[in-house]
Chains A and B, each alone.
Chain A
Amino acid sequence: MRTLTADLLAAQKKATAVPYVRVQIRERIGDVARLTWERLYSGEEVDRPHAATAPGDGSLVRVRVDAAGQLLVQRVATPGPGSDFGSWTALASVPSTSPVALTAAGAAVLLFYVDTDGVTIRLRESGDYGQSFGSPATVATASGAVTSLAAAMKGDGTALVIYSAGATVYRVKRSGGAWGSPAAWSNSIAGVTGLACYYSIDFNVIVTGSDGVGAAKVWTAIYGDGFNQPVDAWSLLMELSRADAGSNVTFRAPFLDRPDLFRLSFVEKYTGNQAYARPLWSHVSRFGDFATNTWREPVPFDLACEHGVAMAHGGGHAWLSAPNGVWRASTAGSVLDLSDDILELREDIAPFDGRVRITLRNDDGRYSDLTAGDNRLIGPSCQVDVSPGYVTDLGARISIGPRYWIEGWEYDCRPGASTFVLLARDGWWLLRHWRARREYAWSAGESSIFQILSFLLSRAGLECGFLNGSDALTALKPSFAVHPGEDGLTAVQRLLLMVPDVIRMAGETAMIFNPEPDEAPVYAYGADHAILQGRYAVTDCDLNRVTVFGRGPVVEAFDWPGISDTYDRLLQVHDLNLTVASDAQARAEALLRKAAMASLGGEIVVPVNSGQELYDVVSVTDARAGLSAAPRRVSGMSLHYSRAGKPVYQMRLRLGAV
C-alpha cells in the first residue's frame, strides 16, 4: 500500500469526507516523453556521412561530406521554422566517404574529420559556439583507413575521440588540453560499421558491426570516467539488437544523445527482397541508465537513408539531422489537468489488467477540438495519471496513484447533456502491444527469470522493480524463447508460471514480489475504516496435488487438508528446464500456493482508501460473517467516483486468501 500522509489517512476514515481525485495528462509513454517530431527542412543534399551538435547558446551546428569530397559545415544561430538549413560552408577536402564527428560543451565545438590520406584524424575547434573554427590539428594517425568516427566532450574540456580501423576501435583522449596517444579497446568483434559517443557520467558508446560468427549487431559499451566503469577502462559489449549471418540485415550509422534520458538511433539495412535502409530509434527505460542496457524496442523512423539521423539537444528542443533534413521536438513537458471537469471515474485493476474510464463535462464543447491548446495532449497513448485523495483540513491531499495510457475516447451527445469519455489502460496494455518481431531466445544458464522479465518489460518501455522476490526468480536460468508474433504479456505470464512471484503494475514500473503466506496486514477494514457492503466466500481449490516432471526429477506437492476434504485434484506440469529436484519441488509448491490464494473469495465495498494497491494484505472485521481482523489479500479492486447525480466515492476490493 502506498504511504499516506496523516491528514489523508484520517480523512479517508471519517464518516463523511470530501473526495478529491486528480487526473492529469502528459505526452509521455511509460513516463518517458514522447517526442513529437516536426520536420523543418527538406533539401536536396545527398545521403552521406554527417553529424550535428547543439552548443550552449541554443544554436545548431551541422556538418556533412558531399560527393565531391568537401567537408561542409553549417551553423544556424536560432534554429526554428523558417531557418535556412540549406546554406553550407566548405571547410576542407576529405575522402568522399569519410566519417565525421561533432561534439560541443558550452561555447566549445569540436569537429573531427579524416584527412585526404584516409588515416589522419584532424580536429577543427571552435570557441565561439561554432561561428568560426581554428586551424586543423592532428589528433591521431590510424594504422589503417578510418571507417567510423565519434566524439564526446565533458564540460571541463576533456574530450574523447573513438574511431575504427579494420575491426578495432581506438580511443584518443584529451585531458588538460593535451591529446594522448591512440589505444585499442579491450573488446573484440569482426567488423565495425558505426560508432556513436555521448558523455554523461561516463563516455557512453554505441557500436554497430558484426561479431565473430558474422551476426550483425548493435552494442552498447562504456568507456569509463569512474562512475559505471573505472576511469579509462572499457566495459564489455552489451547487445541491443542482432541479425544473424546470412539474413541480409546489417546495422550502421548510430547516434546517441541525452536530451532527457539516453536516446539513440541507428540504421537497419536489408538487402533482400524489397530492400530498405531506415533509421530506428530507442531510449532507455524511465529509471534505467546506460549501464542497465534496458532499451525499449527500436521504433522505425519515417525516412529512407543509410547514414542515419544525428541527434542533438538544446534550447528546449531535441533535434534530428540528416544532410537533407532537420526535425525538432519540444522537450518541455506540458500537463493538462482534468480534475475539475470529472463527472465520473471508474477504475478497475486486476491481475494483468488495469483500466480507467473518465467521463468529463463537455456541455460547453471544451473538448470538441483536441488540436487546440493543451487539449492536444489528449492523444493516442498519452499518459493519464490518476491520483485519488480527499480534501482534508490542510487542503486537497492525494496519493500518487496508477498510471494509464489513452486507448481511445468517445463523445456522448444527447439532449441536454454532452460528455467526453476517456478510456485508458495500464502498463499491461503496453506490454500486450509489444510483439516479438524476431525470435528471442535465451539458452539455459544464460539469464535468470528476473533478467528475462526485465528485458521483456523494457522492450515495451516499462521498468522492472524488485521488492522481495523468490529465490527461483534469480536462481532459475531457463531455456526460454519468445517466438515472432507473440506478445509481451504472454511471454511474461509464461515466466511467472515458473515462480511463485506476482507483478503489480505501479505506473510504468512492474513491481515483482513474492506474496508470502505470513504477510502481515497493512491496513484494516471494518473498524476505523467502514465496510459498506461485504460478501465473503469460501471456494474449493482447483487443485490440491501437483506433480512436476522435469528432465530427470519427478516430484509432488500436496495440500493434505484439501485432499482430505475433496480427494485429490491433480495438476501435472512438464518442464525440461527443471533438472534439480529442489527446483522442481519449489515449482510444485509455488503452483499449490497460487491455487491456495484463490481458495477464498468475496469482496467488500468501502470508502476509497487512497493508497490501496493490488495484492496488499488487509484485515477484515465484519461480525455478521464472523470475521475479526481476518487477513485477506486484495486480488482485484475497482474505484468509482461520481459527481453526476448521486455522489459516489467508493472502492470495491476483491478478496483472496493471503
Chain B
Amino acid sequence: MTVRRGEIKSFDSGSYVATVRLAGSLAVWLSGLPVARNIAAGEVQAGRSCAVIFFDDANPQDAVIVAVYT
C-alpha cells in the first residue's frame, strides 16, 4: 500500500470519481480514481492537491482519494 500526492484535474460527482495528475506525471492524468464519500463534492475542485491511497500499487481501481487540500 502506498500513498501518493496528486492534483485534481476533474471530478465526476455522479460516480464520485476524479481524474488526477499524480506527482511526477507532467502530461498524463490518471482517470477514474474513486473519491472518499466523506469528502464533500464541492471540495473536489480542479487544481487542488489530493492524497491517494493505493491499496494495490499496481491497480488504480483499488485506490481511493482520501484527502483534498489546497
Contacts and interface: CB of A to CB of B under 8 A. Distances in A.
Interface in B4-60: 4, 9, 21-32, 54-60
A443 B33 CA distance: 12
B28 A574 contact: no
A246 interface: yes
Contacts of B57: 483, 494
Interface string A438-464: 111101100000000000000000000
A63 B21 CA distance: 41
A528 interface: no
Contacts of A444: 61
Interface in A458-494: 478-485, 491, 494
A374 interface: no
Given A246-B9, A439-B30, A480 B25 contact: no
User: Per DSSP, are chain A's interface residues mostly helix, strand or loop, or mixed?
Assistant: loop
A483 B60 CA distance: 10
Contact of A481 (B9, B26, B59): B59
A439 B31 CA distance: 10
A447 to B, nearest CB: 13
Interface in A554-595: 574-577
A439 B25 contact: yes
Contacts of B9: 244, 246
- Give the interface centre of A243, A438, A483 by most chain B CB atoms within 10 Å: A483
A249 interface: yes
B55 A441 contact: no
A242 interface: yes
A438 B58 contact: no
Interface in A215-229: 216
Nearest to B6: A439
Given A246-B9, A483-B4, A438 B26 contact: yes
A8 to B, nearest CB: 43
- On chain A, which size bracket covers the interface? 20 to 34
B20 to A, nearest CB: 9
A249 B56 contact: no
Contacts of A438: 24-28
Interface in A240-269: 242-244, 246-249
- Give the interface centre of B22, B23, B26, B55 by most chain A CB atoms within 10 Å: B26
B59 A577 contact: yes
Contacts of A575: 56, 59, 62
A495 B21 CA distance: 23
A298 to B, nearest CB: 13
A482 B26 CA distance: 14
B30 to A, nearest CB: 5
B25 A484 contact: yes
Nearest to B24: A484
- Give the interface centre of A246, A439, A484, A495 by most chain B CB atoms within 10 Å: A439
Given A484-B22, A484-B23, A484-B24, A244 B29 contact: yes
Nearest to A486: B57
Contacts of A576: 56, 59, 61-62
A439 B29 contact: yes
A269 to B, nearest CB: 11
B3 to A, nearest CB: 12
Contact of B26 (A216, A249, A483): A249
A249 B28 CA distance: 10
Contact of B56 (A244, A495, A574): A574
Contacts of B23: 484
Contacts of A246: 9
- Give the interface centre of A248, A438, A485 by most chain B CB atoms within 10 Å: A438
B28 A247 contact: yes
6 contacts: A243-B26, A244-B28, A247-B27, A247-B28, A437-B24, A577-B59
Interface of A: 216, 242-244, 246-249, 270, 437-441, 443-444, 478-485, 491, 494-495, 574-577
Interface of B: 4, 9, 21-32, 54-62
Given A244-B27, A444-B61, A485-B24, 16 more contacts: A243-B28, A247-B26, A249-B26, A437-B26, A438-B24, A438-B28, A441-B31, A443-B32, A478-B58, A479-B62, A483-B57, A484-B25, A574-B56, A576-B56, A577-B59, A577-B61
